[in-house]
């Protein structure tokens, strides 16, 4: 067997083994499109950058995903592949801070040849394990499936599941509504979701060869991944490709209207000096030229996102009703207690926030309600500092409120049960200034605490015990549709009256309607997503 440079790098210490031993550590699986070679490490077989779709360059740009071209021989799937193009094509410059930037990430190669996925499996047998199908975060704009936080090694081995993470098209390449200018692009605004669905189809056709069960697929994701999971619950071609779903801090109630999507697309064409009648020219524009203008074209404070009223997405996701296509699917929905601390807490000004400054910031949480919110949170949390009060209020107004709206709509519709959670475990990072920030649950779901120390803190017996419980909750939900784990109380499904919710912490417990007064207050203002389209369509 000849050793390629990538195999030498990926095998690490295995290079010290005799050649036959190394060969045994290189599992090969024959997919529907060709053979792939992975690597066995830490009791798990890992395959990276398996193509699930064809290139999205040239004539395939802004078009629905196509199946990958079959290959001969064995494809080396030993290293992560490129992420989808994102940002303006230049390195991200972050404002320096004396505090830990929880979401700094790491630079990755970008390419339009990005429809790839990664698989972790405990064994290549016929056992038919439940499947974790993970969609990465980053809104509809950034991220990839190769974050160290998403490493599936521990959860695959310890919980006996198969883990899949994916890359898919983002921002303008995944969500630009060109259908207003040519029927050829009728569904171009949903290509990011259609990529996820193409990956789900790959799983249905191939995952049994990796020891997984195509009839026990759990779609889940956090933040933007939760939003894209919501889209899978409501985008018609996805029906029948999954059996469970988990929406982590990303309840997408509404997306762009046809009017908003068209306005963004017109701004893009104007920035590139392309007439709407010549929209096909977009397929020949250099990648970096599109990246340079895509942010401004989306509009100030906005991002590219799916458009409702299109062939695969005929209606808004959760606009007053739950989608009937996923009515019978068991779903978990939840948030972290102080989601917004992950974004606001990096600012040292939080250390000296006065009462008046807090009121001013609360007035931005809900215009004209700063004094009211200040009085309510000070009464409810007399021992909390001003920074924590701001984090709680900003979280309750956004992530928390929307999660309760989504869960209640599903519960009232009947069908599959909905399970609500709140993640309350406080991270010790930077002396606890972030409390329970956005994305803190991820290293516990994946049991990847070592990789996620930047947000979860150092690995301790207590954090490891909680990771065992949380990863088991998700794994058993994938396995049988009911989240359960040793030491966790029985989880009662959600309903819009008593609103039973699992509080996940070092000692977890069920509570009815937690943060009830805050929820009712924020609900009276309506979801922030309701006014979004009106604001950006004319931006």
| pLDDT tens-digit series, residues 130-174 | 999 999 999 999 999 999 999 999 999 999 999 999 999 999 999
Structure tokens at 265: 């697309």
> φ, ψ for residue 41 (rounded to 5)?
-150, 140
- The CATH number of residue 228's host domain is 3.40.50.1820
* Mean pLDDT on 69-92: 92
Q: Could you give the number of structural domains in the chain?
A: 2
Q: Is residue 59 part of a domain?
A: yes
If asked whether residues 89 and 232 sit together in one domain, one would say yes
Confidence bin at 394 (pLDDT 50/70/90)? very high
Q: DSSP E strands: which ranges in 342-427?
A: 418-423
Instruction: Please list, in sequence order, all residues whose beta carbon lies within 8 angstroms of the beta carbon of residue 249, skipping any fewer than 6 positions away.
Output: 222, 223, 226, 334, 335, 336, 339, 399, 403, 438, 439
pLDDT in tens, 442-468: 999 999 999 999 999 999 999 999 999
Half-sphere exposure of 119 (CA within 13 A, CB side): 34
b/e burial code for range 133-172 (CB count within 10 A of at least 16 → b): bbbbbbbbbbbbbbbebbbbbbbbbbbbbbbbbbbbbbbb
- DSSP state letter for 307: B
The continuous run of DSSP H or E covering 456 comes out as helix 453-456
Structure tokens at 385: 């500092």
If asked whether residues 253 and 369 sit together in one domain, one would say no
Q: Is residue 15 part of a domain?
A: no
Whole-prediction pTM:
0.93
Q: Nearest CA to 139 among 230, 261, 236?
A: 230
Position 91 pLDDT exceeds 90: no
If asked whether residues 242 and 375 sit together in one domain, one would say no
Q: Is residue 366 part of a domain?
A: yes
> Tell me, what's the pLDDT at 7?
28
Distance CA(37)–CA(199), nearest Å, equals 19
End position of a domain, from candidates 198, 226, 258: 258
DSSP 195-259: HHHHHHHHHHHHGGGGTEEEEEEEEEEETHHHHHHHHHTT-GGGTTS-SEEEEES------B-HH
If asked whether residues 118 and 248 sit together in one domain, one would say yes
Count of Cβ atoms closer than 10 Å to residue 45 Cβ: 22
Q: Is residue 9 part of a domain?
A: no
Confidence bin at 104 (pLDDT 50/70/90)? confident
Position 19 pLDDT exceeds 70: no
pLDDT in tens, 332-344: 999 999 999 999 9
Question: Catalytic positions, please?
Answer: 223, 339, 438
End position of a domain, from candidates 258, 282, 308: 258
- Is 181 within 8 Å of 276 (Cβ atoms)? yes
Q: In what order do the strands lie in the sheet with 28-30?
A: 28-30, 35-37, 74-76
Q: Is residue 491 part of a domain?
A: yes
Q: Is residue 414 part of a domain?
A: yes
If asked whether residues 237 and 358 sit together in one domain, one would say no
> Tell me, what's the pLDDT at 532?
57
Position 239 pLDDT exceeds 90: yes
- The residue with greater pLDDT, 23 or 188, is 188
- Is 183 within 8 Å of 169 (Cβ atoms)? no
If asked whether residues 105 and 244 sit together in one domain, one would say yes
> Tell me, what's the pLDDT at 97?
86
* Mean pLDDT on 304-325: 96
If asked whether residues 245 and 355 sit together in one domain, one would say no
Distance CA(26)–CA(536), nearest Å, equals 51
In order of 101, 285, 317, 391, 465, the CA distances from 434 in angstroms are 11, 43, 31, 9, 21
If asked whether residues 193 and 91 sit together in one domain, one would say yes
pLDDT in tens, 410-436: 999 999 999 999 999 999 999 999 999
Confidence bin at 3 (pLDDT 50/70/90)? very low
If asked whether residues 237 and 108 sit together in one domain, one would say yes
Q: Is residue 314 part of a domain?
A: no
Distance of CA 374 to the CA centre of its chain: 32
> Tell me, what's the pLDDT at 531?
62
Structure tokens at 15: 């290079």
Percent of the chain scoring above 70 in pLDDT: 94
Per DSSP, the three-state class of 67 is coil
Count of Cβ atoms closer than 10 Å to residue 102 Cβ: 23
> Tell me, what's the pLDDT at 257?
96
Distance CA(439)–CA(249), nearest Å, equals 8
Confidence bin at 301 (pLDDT 50/70/90)? confident
Position 12 pLDDT exceeds 80: no
- Is 314 within 8 Å of 236 (Cβ atoms)? yes
If asked whether residues 237 and 365 sit together in one domain, one would say no
The parent domain of residue 401 ranges over: 348-525
Distance CA(275)–CA(105), nearest Å, equals 38
pLDDT in tens, 45-62: 999 999 999 999 999 999
If asked whether residues 80 and 205 sit together in one domain, one would say yes
End position of a domain, from candidates 258, 273, 297: 258
- DSSP state letter for 110: B
Q: Is residue 85 part of a domain?
A: yes
Position 83 pLDDT exceeds 60: yes
> Tell me, what's the pLDDT at 199?
98
Confidence bin at 326 (pLDDT 50/70/90)? very high
Per DSSP, the three-state class of 370 is helix
- The rounded mean pLDDT for the chain is 93
- Among 100-109, 357-366, 475-484, where is mean pLDDT lowest? 100-109
If asked whether residues 93 and 199 sit together in one domain, one would say yes
Confidence bin at 25 (pLDDT 50/70/90)? low
Position 17 pLDDT exceeds 50: no
């Amino acid at each position: 067997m000849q050793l390629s440079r990538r195999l030498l790098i990926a095998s690490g210490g295995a290079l010290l083994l005799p050649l036959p031993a190394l060969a045994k550590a290189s599992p090969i699986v024959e997919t529907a499109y060709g053979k792939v070679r992975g690597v066995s490490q830490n009791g798990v077989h890992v395959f990276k950058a398996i193509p699930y779709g064809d290139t999205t360059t040239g004539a395939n740009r802004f078009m629905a995903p196509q199946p990958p071209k079959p290959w001969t021989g064995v494809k080396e799937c030993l290293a992560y592949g490129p992420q989808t193009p994102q940002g303006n094509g230049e390195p991200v410059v972050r404002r320096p801070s004396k505090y830990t930037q929880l979401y700094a990430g790491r630079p990755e190669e970008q390419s339009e040849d990005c429809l790839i996925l990664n698989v972790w499996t405990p064994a290549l047998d016929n056992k038919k394990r439940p499947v974790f199908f993970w969609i990465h975060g980053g809104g509809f704009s950034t991220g990839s499936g190769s974050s160290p936080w998403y490493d599936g090694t521990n959860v695959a081995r310890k919980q006996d599941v198969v883990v899949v993470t994916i890359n898919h098209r983002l921002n303008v390449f995944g969500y630009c509504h060109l259908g207003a200018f040519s029927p050829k692009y009728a569904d171009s605004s949903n290509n990011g979701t259609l990529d996820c669905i193409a990956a789900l189809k790959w799983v249905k056709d191939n995952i049994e060869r990796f020891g997984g069960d195509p009839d026990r697929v759990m779609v889940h994701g956090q933040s933007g991944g939760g939003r894209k999971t919501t889209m899978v619950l409501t985008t018609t071609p996805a029906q029948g490709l999954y059996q469970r779903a988990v929406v982590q801090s990303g309840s997408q109630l509404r997306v762009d209207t046809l009017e908003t999507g068209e306005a963004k697309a017109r701004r893009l064409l104007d920035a590139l000096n392309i007439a709407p009648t010549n929209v096909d020219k977009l397929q020949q524009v250099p990648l970096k030229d599109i990246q340079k203008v895509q942010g401004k074209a989306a509009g100030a404070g906005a991002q590219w996102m799916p458009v409702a009223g299109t062939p695969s997405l005929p209606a808004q996701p959760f606009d007053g009703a739950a989608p009937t296509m996923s009515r019978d699917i068991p779903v978990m929905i939840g948030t972290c207690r102080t989601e917004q601390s992950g974004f606001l807490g990096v600012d040292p000004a939080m250390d000296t926030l006065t009462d008046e400054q807090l009121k001013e910031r609360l007035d931005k949480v809900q215009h004209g309600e700063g004094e009211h919110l200040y009085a309510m949170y000070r009464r409810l949390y007399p021992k909390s500092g001003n920074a924590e009060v701001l984090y709680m209020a900003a979280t309750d107004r956004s992530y928390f409120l929307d999660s309760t709206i989504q869960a209640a709509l599903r519960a009232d519709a009947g069908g599959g049960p909905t399970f609500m959670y709140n993640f309350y475990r406080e991270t010790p990072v930077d002396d606890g200034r972030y409390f329970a920030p956005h994305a803190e649950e991820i290293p516990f779901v994946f049991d990847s605490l070592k990789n996620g120390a930047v947000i979860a803190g150092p690995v301790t017996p207590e954090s490891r015990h909680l990771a065992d419980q949380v990863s088991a909750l998700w794994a058993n939900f994938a396995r049988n549709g009911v989240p359960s784990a040793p030491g966790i109380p029985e989880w009662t499904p959600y309903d819009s009256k008593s609103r039973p919710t699992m509080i996940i912490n070092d000692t977890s417990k069920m509570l009815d309607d937690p943060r009830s007064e805050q929820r009712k207050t924020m609900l009276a203002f309506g979801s922030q997503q309701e006014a979004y389209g009106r604001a950006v369509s004319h931006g």
